[in-house]
Structure 1
Amino acid sequence: MKNVKDELQHIILGDEPVGRGNQLKKTQSFLRANEKTSFKLEKQQHLKSEETTALINFAKKENLFYEPAIHKTDFISEGAEQKVYQFDDEHVIKTNAGIFYETWLDYFNSLLIHNYFFPATAYTFLGFKEIDGALHAVVMQEFILNSEPTDLNAVKDFLRYNGFLNKRNNDYYNNDVGLIFEDLHDENVLSNNGVLFFIDTVFYITPDFYRHP
């Protein structure tokens, strides 16, 4: 898994220039720089409000607020962490307050990792929106229809083949890369004509991710 780890380290830790077309990486780079200058790693869980304030200021400066209205008539579904709306015939948009993550940086890292592993359902970051007084990220994703129920044993086999071992229930880990991969129930992984599509993922980076062999 060395090549995978090297590639992901480059994506997460890289400082390559980013343009208007890659607002996801631009925002993640800001959050990573903000962490280095403003936060101590062991105290991040207590400082998400300060991180959010910095992120709002950054979003205003970079025009990263999503201005179009999100209509209730377009609502499709919701989970614990996000709401899903129809965008067009081929895409949905999702609003997420990042509640599954201790920091916004963790959330944006998870998006980048998802896009690396699952390009067919990659997230496009559209911007931020304040909803009911809380900051939400707005992302767009391919709309996937499931043609049959998802076989969770097939999910387990697929992930085992790719180095992720089942820890408990629908949670997995990859010690070689240093990733935890959680919440893979049958609403977050869809099956269409026997092909698995991972549409809602939660990745966490462990300290092993930053270690070199």
Structure 2
Amino acid sequence: MKNIKDELQNIINGDGSIGPTSKLEKVQNFLRTNEKASFRTEKQKYLKSEETICLTDFAFKEKLFFLEEISEDNFISAGAEQRVYRYDDFHIIKINDSIFYEYWLDYFNSLLIHNYFFRATAYIFLGFKFIDDILCAVVKQEFIVATEITDLNVVKQFLSYNDFNNSRNNDYINSNLGVIFEDLHDENVLSRNGILYFIDTIFYLTEGFYSSKI
């Protein structure tokens, strides 16, 4: 468990990486550095709107906008936080406005954690795009076709085996790692030939994540 936590801390704190530096890591590093530079007292709490302005400027400067047209003919589904489109025969793209996260940094941290745990469905960050004047992230992911209905009891057993304990409904927490894992209903976890594929994940870090104690 210590090794896993060390690796995750290295990834989130920018002291390590999974493979070559990616656009995703580049943006997360900028947001992390920007957060430290914008440290304020509790009464002057950093606002997400301010973070978004800085992020937009950075995206323009670094040419991180996704310029391809996204056709509504390829629309698959939509949720509260994202819209999903077919990209090609093997991938989908997801357009996310980070509404489930207090800050954009939290969203990119969640992507990095997902990629650490679930490489078969890893997110590839393609860039940003304005949708109805709202800044959104565009990510690509392998298209998973389910072959059977997901048994949520199996999901619970799998996560329990990996030290993620059910906190309520479809939400879990790993107290040793300091990681919360939420919204794992049967549309976010698919089953193909008896193998679970986590396709939509929401991770949050607790204060315990930054502690060196296990």
* TM-score of the pair, normalised by structure 1: 0.95
1:38 corresponds to: 38
Is residue 139 from structure 1 mapped to residue 133 from structure 2 by the alignment? no
Distance 1:207 1:147, change over 3 A: same
Equivalence map 1:122-201=2 (5 Å): 122-201=122-201
1:98 corresponds to: 98
8 Å contact from structure 2 (residues 7, 16) kept in 1: no
Cα drift, residue 40 of structure 1? 3.5
Q: Distance in 2 between matches of 1:121 and 1:44?
A: 38
Q: Distance in 1 between matches of 2:114 and 2:141?
A: 12
1:50 corresponds to: 50
The one-character-per-residue Cα deviations of 1:44-66 (angstroms, maximum 9, x if unpaired) are 97600000000000000100000
Q: What is the one-letter code of the residue matched to 2:114?
A: H
Q: Distance in 1 between matches of 2:170 and 2:147?
A: 21
Q: What is the one-letter code of the residue matched to 2:154?
A: A
Aligned residues with identical type, % of pairs: 65
The one-character-per-residue Cα deviations of 1:69-116 (angstroms, maximum 9, x if unpaired) are 111000000111100000000000000000000000000000000000
1:2 corresponds to: 2
Cα drift, residue 203 of structure 1? 0.1
Cα drift, residue 14 of structure 1? 1.8
Q: Distance in 2 between matches of 1:110 and 1:40?
A: 24
The one-character-per-residue Cα deviations of 1:135-193 (angstroms, maximum 9, x if unpaired) are 00000000000100000000000000111000010000000000000000000000001
Q: Secondary structure, in 3 states, of the residue corresponding to 1:186?
A: coil
Q: Distance in 2 between matches of 1:112 and 1:140?
A: 14
Distance 1:18 1:142, change over 3 A: closer
Q: What is the one-letter code of the residue matched to 2:188?
A: N
* Corresponding residue pairs, total: 213
RMSD (CA atoms): 1.9
Give 5+ residue unaligned stretches, structure 2: none
Q: Secondary structure, in 3 states, of the residue corresponding to 2:150?
A: coil
Q: What is the one-letter code of the residue matched to 2:180?
A: I
Q: Secondary structure, in 3 states, of the residue corresponding to 1:126?
A: strand
Cα drift, residue 39 of structure 1? 3.6
1:212 corresponds to: 212
Equivalence map 1:9-24=2 (5 Å): 9-15=9-15, 22-24=22-24
